Structure 1
Amino acid sequence: MTELRIGIIGVGMMGADHAERVARRTSGARLVAVSDPDVARATTLATALDGVRVIDDPLALIGDAEVDAVIIASPGFAHAEQLMACLEHGKPVLCEKPLTMDAESSLRVVEAEHKTGRPLIQVGFMRRFDPEYAALKRLLDSGDLGRTLLLHNVHRNKTVPETFRSEMIVRDSLVHEVDVARWLFGDEITRITVHAPKPTSLVGEGVLDPQFAVFEMASGALADVEVFVNFQVGYEVRCEAVAERGSATIGLGVDVLTRAAGHWGGAVPDDFRVRFGLAYDIEVQRWVNAAATGGIDGPTAWDGYAAAAVCTAGVQSLQEGRPVEVEMVRRSEVLG
């Protein structure tokens, strides 16, 4: 099989990690081009990886005849234009979250993809590919524990840049648990409330961190999420599902438990690349395999739109201090 030639837009922390992944750990794929506003950073990365070109203009990368598929790891505000270009050129794309910055532009992307007649967009909700999350999904779907009633989530980062504002905590962090809730329940979120408790003293003026969100599902089930992006300790993600006949918890980090020098415990990773490294490897490999045969194998553009709709309502809830209904079109109205 011919290798899928991949171009990556955005080579910050996430994009650079994907570049290494494609170049060194993904079969059936070859990294051929990168693009980033920081040309020096892109050049340094390309120089370290054989046969990789730097293309200054991301739209030119998308249109390049030697690029078969695209990974978008640029800031969210650039996604809409870049996704539309991928659709125009008929190129499969793995787009890191968020799909776009708001529900309206995400819906336009969904509609544009539908007009192409085939799925081209996969959204980077990598938790679905994590072995622990996948095992939890299988357990809940089996029905062994009865109906799932509650979902408790914890999402903590060690630190984030000073430019990471309150709304970004919703759009860029909480969005993962939005997708997790929709996926595990197999249901839509109809209402969201985002609470802002007393903020940590380690953030700038006006930043609301941590945040606590409650999702109300169409079925009547509930999910809650604590998001704390300046936790200082490390990167910690947990999920507990409570069902009629039992509960299940993942993310406890108990794979290696040490006892030495009068202490016991384990390590808390610094960032997402350690906790979800395997999930990203599986995600990208499955995307490459599917793209090579004209499909996708993961969260769709519709999933990205649904998450954007919830986060749009979540930002409004955060700003107004009240529950906000999630406004979404019916899937059948767009996709038939």
Structure 2
Amino acid sequence: MTSTLGIAVIGTGKMGADHVRRIGHSVGGARVVAVADPDGDRVKEVAAGLEGASAHTDPVAALSAPGVGAVLIASPGPAHEEALLAALERELPVLCEKPLTPDPAAALRVLEAERRLGRRLVQVGFMRRFDAEYERLKGLLDSGGIGRPMFLHCRHRNASSPSFFTSSMLISDSVVHEVDAARWLLGQEVTAVTVLSPAASSAAPGGLRDPQLVLLETSGGAIVDVEIFVNCGFGYQVQVEAVGEAGSARIGDAGAMVVQAAGRRYDEVPQDFTVRFADAYDRQLRRWVAAAARGGVDGPDVWDGYAAAAVSEAGLTALRTGTRTAVELAERPPLYR
């Protein structure tokens, strides 16, 4: 790249602030030139630590700030559609944290706006696709190394959940990562969802249906089971085992430090997703910045965001009704094939 890419960051909460830090310390060829957040005090504080960056409470105003050449959206999901449509109107490359939108109808509106432009400008922040272990598993499956995949066994555990977390958010905010990972690893769409709930953990806040077992059926005849447990108590853990006709492969066990002390040997368990996927976030941002500087994207696109939203919607229906629920997908436009 011959010049520095100016980025507007929309949302300065935990994820937005983490992205601002990464752009400043881990990603070359880019700088944050504008930040936006409804919390005026917080956005001014973030902007104060960035040389020359402007602070805004209106995300659309941030997109029009001098020097903005790309947009990173890390605001809450319900605010994504407005910012996405405004960015597309200005033909700015976007990295949008998941979910693309909270529901598939909104995602289709974004898809239609991008389709009218005739090129892909929006990338969705499903960062697991950039994790080295996930990439190795993807390569193995694509090469046929364990034969036709029949099962993906997934575990997704958090030490504790935020106070605002609801039973539906276990699916829409957590399992959505497994939805995208399964679609990408298998190269198949999810066609139906079933959700089973055991008796809630004693560590779960009152009324929270935690843990849950989410079963995904795919267009290629594979089954994906996801244990989502957001108050497991011991740490953050993400594992996947793929079972094929000729073998199996598992990721999620490596990378931890092994400690030997006081007559004991143990592995450290990460306590937060930003620790477990730190390298994936860095790699995602570097590749997006490089692609955005060329006027495009390099990762999960609007169709992937829409498909994840459609599966999540079916999952929420399955959670509410206790029945297997089919996933309804629109026809996939040629732009995303």
Fold-level match, TM-score > 0.5? Answer: yes
Which position in structure 2 is the counterpart of 1:155?
A: 156
Query: 1:106-136 CA distances to partner (integer Å, 9 max, x unpaired)?
Result: 1111111110111110000000000010111
Asked whether the 8 Å contact 1:253–1:266 carries over to 2, the reply is: no
Identity of aligned residues (%): 51
Question: Structure 1 residues 254 and 72, CA, compared in 2 at 3 Å: closer, same or farther?
Answer: closer
Tell me, in whole angstroms, the C-alpha distance in 1 between the residues paired with 2:55 and 2:210: 37
Matched residues, number = 336
Q: TM-score, length-normalised on structure 1?
A: 0.97
Asked whether the 8 Å contact 2:303–2:336 carries over to 1, the reply is: no
Tell me, in whole angstroms, the C-alpha distance in 1 between the residues paired with 2:143 and 2:262: 43
Which amino acid is the alignment partner of residue 137 of structure 1? K
Query: 1:168-227 CA distances to partner (integer Å, 9 max, x unpaired)?
Result: 111110000000110000000000111121112233332111111000011111011011
Query: 1:216-242 CA distances to partner (integer Å, 9 max, x unpaired)?
Result: 011111011011112221111111111
Which position in structure 1 is the counterpart of 2:142?
A: 141
Which region of structure 1 is more displaced relative to structure 2, 136-145 or 310-319? 136-145
Which position in structure 2 is the counterpart of 1:250?
A: 251
Tell me, in whole angstroms, the C-alpha distance in 2 between the residues paired with 1:188 and 1:115: 24
Residue 312, structure 1, aligned to residue 313, structure 2: yes
Q: In structure 1, the residue corresponding to 2:313 is in which secondary structure?
A: helix
Tell me, in whole angstroms, the C-alpha distance in 1 between the residues paired with 2:7 and 2:230: 32
Q: In structure 2, the residue corresponding to 1:128 is in which secondary structure?
A: helix
Which amino acid is the alignment partner of residue 68 of structure 2? V
CA apart distance, 1:255:
4.4
Which position in structure 2 is the counterpart of 1:218?
A: 219
Asked whether the 8 Å contact 1:310–1:326 carries over to 2, the reply is: yes
Asked whether the 8 Å contact 2:212–2:227 carries over to 1, the reply is: yes
Asked whether the 8 Å contact 1:254–1:266 carries over to 2, the reply is: no
Tell me, in whole angstroms, the C-alpha distance in 2 between the residues paired with 1:335 and 1:44: 39
Tell me, in whole angstroms, the C-alpha distance in 2 between the residues paired with 1:115 and 1:105: 16
Question: Structure 1 residues 333 and 321, CA, compared in 2 at 3 Å: closer, same or farther?
Answer: farther
Residue 294, structure 1, aligned to residue 290, structure 2: no
Tell me, in whole angstroms, the C-alpha distance in 1 between the residues paired with 2:236 and 2:256: 16
Which position in structure 1 is the counterpart of 2:43?
A: 42
CA apart distance, 1:259:
2.3
Asked whether the 8 Å contact 1:10–1:34 carries over to 2, the reply is: yes
Matches within 5 A, 1:110-149: 110-149=111-150
Which position in structure 1 is the counterpart of 2:234?
A: 233
Structure 1 segments (4+ residues) deviating >6 Å: none
Which amino acid is the alignment partner of residue 320 of structure 1? T
Tell me, in whole angstroms, the C-alpha distance in 2 between the residues paired with 1:113 and 1:71: 16
Which position in structure 2 is the counterpart of 1:90?
A: 91
Q: Please, which runs of 5 or more residues in structure 1 have no aligned partner?
A: none
Which position in structure 2 is the counterpart of 1:74?
A: 75
Which amino acid is the alignment partner of residue 155 of structure 2? V
Q: Please, which runs of 5 or more residues in structure 2 have no aligned partner?
A: none
Which position in structure 1 is the counterpart of 2:173?
A: 172
Which position in structure 2 is the counterpart of 1:51?
A: 52
Q: In structure 1, the residue corresponding to 2:147 is in which secondary structure?
A: coil
Q: TM-score, length-normalised on structure 2?
A: 0.96
Asked whether the 8 Å contact 1:234–1:270 carries over to 2, the reply is: yes
Q: In structure 1, the residue corresponding to 2:174 is in which secondary structure?
A: helix
Which position in structure 2 is the counterpart of 1:263?
A: 264
Tell me, in whole angstroms, the C-alpha distance in 2 between the residues paired with 1:194 and 1:293: 42
Residue 327, structure 1, aligned to residue 317, structure 2: no
Asked whether the 8 Å contact 2:243–2:249 carries over to 1, the reply is: yes
Which amino acid is the alignment partner of residue 130 of structure 1? D
CA apart distance, 1:254:
5.0
Q: In structure 1, the residue corresponding to 2:201 is in which secondary structure?
A: coil
Asked whether the 8 Å contact 1:238–1:249 carries over to 2, the reply is: yes
Residue 12, structure 1, aligned to residue 13, structure 2: yes
Tell me, in whole angstroms, the C-alpha distance in 1 between the residues paired with 2:175 and 2:190: 13
Matches within 5 A, 1:21-32: 21-32=22-33
Tell me, in whole angstroms, the C-alpha distance in 2 between the residues paired with 1:248 and 1:70: 37
Q: In structure 2, the residue corresponding to 1:225 is in which secondary structure?
A: strand
Which position in structure 2 is the counterpart of 1:188?
A: 189
Tell me, in whole angstroms, the C-alpha distance in 2 between the residues paired with 1:203 and 1:111: 40
Which position in structure 2 is the counterpart of 1:198?
A: 199
Tell me, in whole angstroms, the C-alpha distance in 1 between the residues paired with 2:7 and 2:270: 29
Tell me, in whole angstroms, the C-alpha distance in 2 between the residues paired with 1:335 and 1:272: 29
Calculate the aligned-residue CA RMSD, in Å.
Answer: 1.4
Which amino acid is the alignment partner of residue 205 of structure 1? G
Which region of structure 1 is more displaced relative to structure 2, 196-205 or 63-72? 196-205
Tell me, in whole angstroms, the C-alpha distance in 1 between the residues paired with 2:269 and 2:53: 34
Q: In structure 1, the residue corresponding to 2:330 is in which secondary structure?
A: coil
Asked whether the 8 Å contact 2:257–2:267 carries over to 1, the reply is: yes
